[in-house]
Chain A
């Protein structure tokens, strides 16, 4: 069965510091991978998605970036955090289109607080 991991689970960082969040998926090959952010009391906002190694699509202009160095590894980064970057960051995976419902399954999330 497939498993998705995220770390760290929680993070408190000062404004202006760098960020690196990691997501890995087990039990599947060539998944689509996604990064979402959920601000307090708000819906999920898609930040990035990737259909393969080195292929990143950005949905929202911001000071965040994403990379996919390996098939089942997805990294979210920032060089300088802003207060507005606080939120619940969720990684998700799905199968490629055409394979059933292509449901997105979420990892446990990282709660980021920028002070």
Chain B
């Protein structure tokens, strides 16, 4: 089976940086995705990593180490609107994604 772990909750101050870690043990690996999900809404795509290293997209960056089964999502210059759940997902074949339970980030003023 697939095992994807991420912290349940994190709290940070507006303007700060938060790093959300994700570790995975899957039968195969064909890419790792991060999604943002605001309460009551559908997940929206943030980032994709398939090779080791850092991918940067504005205030958000995502890192992958395949040998360690590890990824993180880095949120810089936090804004109140960044309060949401962040989902780590691993694709182990051509189609299917396995999701972690999500990390709820609360940004405080």
Contacts and interface: CB of A to CB of B under 8 A. Distances in A.
Interface of A: 32, 34, 42-46, 49, 51, 59, 90, 94, 97, 101-109, 111
Contacts, number: 49
Given A105-B45, A106-B44, A43 B99 contact: yes
Contacts of B98: 46
B42 A103 contact: no
B101 A101 contact: no
Interface in B73-109: 87, 89, 91, 94-102
A32 B95 contact: yes
Given A101-B31, A103-B48, A44 B42 contact: no
B43 interface: yes
Given A42-B101, A45-B99, A101-B50, 6 more contacts: A32-B95, A34-B95, A43-B87, A101-B31, A103-B45, A109-B41
